[in-house]
Amino acid sequence: MQHFYIEPEAVSGGTITITGSDHNHIKNVLRMKPGEELMAVDGESIEYTCRIREYSDAGVVCDIVESRHSALELPARVVLFQGLPKKDKMELIVQKAVELGASEIVPVLTKRTIVKLDGAEKEKKRVERLQAIAVAAAKQCGRGIVPAVSPVISFKDAVEAASKMDIAIIPYELADDMEESRKIIKSLQGKKSIGVFIGPEGGFDRTETELAAAKGILPITLGKRILRTETAGICVLSLIMYEITD
């Protein structure tokens, strides 16, 4: 069934009106007819099975057949604090993080970040492009929410934000206690908010890991091999998804 994301205010009584580019897509690309069904998701984890009633100037008017909470969301809010990588790696990271259940992706400026930030206007367009990738990935895998992609923040601000979560972890190449890492991953069960830090290509500076540890962020190891930044995030999010999924 085709999925479309709507704003909560699009729901009125027993109907939903789908507007904007999705209106055109449903009518002129998919050529769906009145009586056909589609899925509308309000971005707040409520899914609506709808039946097209009619096309109007306002949009596609649909009757709600059924509504329910999405069963596809993880039981915890998982935030990926991603050290800013080079070139287009961030696009891949956003796509896969959304597919694996992350609730938010936060690009982080670290001491070993190689990328040079452009002006405010270019940065705004970069975030918009990454957010569009998040929307497409959410549609593809049927997410009940559209994860947010935030503007770049400093490592200090990221650590401060993560310290307010139930638990946060930071894979680090100098960590070597695999048994303790397994225990930490298992302890994620039952947590309502989880932060994950992934370093850029050069990894984290020791002063950054010390700052993280001082704020209660737990170091873990991902094994003996050094993983690329885009691989490390996929690895950790996969472990979290496996461990906390009901």
CATH number of the domain bearing residue 15: 2.40.240.20
Q: Give per-residue pLDDT as tens, 126-135.
A: 999 999 999 9
Same domain, 84 and 198: yes
Check whether residue 118 and residue 88 sit in a common domain.
Answer: yes
User: In terms of domains, do 197 and 123 share one?
Assistant: yes
pLDDT band at 89 (very low <50, low <70, confident <90, very high): very high
Q: How far apart are CA 220 and CA 236, in angstroms?
A: 10
Residues 6+ apart with CB under 8 A from 45: 69, 70, 73, 144, 145
101/214 same-domain check: yes
CA distance 81 to 235: 14
Q: Are residues 28 and 117 in the same domain?
A: no
Same domain (yes/no): 118, 234: yes
Check whether 116 has a pLDDT greater than 80: no
The pTM for the full model equals: 0.85
How many structural domains is the chain composed of?
A: 2
Q: Are residues 225 and 103 in the same domain?
A: yes
Same domain for 102 and 224?
Answer: yes
Q: Are residues 105 and 210 in the same domain?
A: yes
Are residues 31 and 151 located together in one domain of the fold? no
174 or 27: whose pLDDT is higher? 27
Tell me if 204 sits within 8 A of 156, measured CB to CB: no
Say yes or no: 20 and 117 in one domain. Answer: no
Binned at pLDDT 50, 70 and 90, residue 174 comes out as confident
Q: Which of 69, 86, 112 is the last residue of a domain?
A: 69
Whole domain around residue 165: which residue ranges? 77-244
CATH classification of the domain holding 113: 3.40.1280.10
Phi, psi for residue 231 in degrees, rounded to 5:
-80, -40
- 108 contacts 81 by C-beta, under 8 angstroms: yes
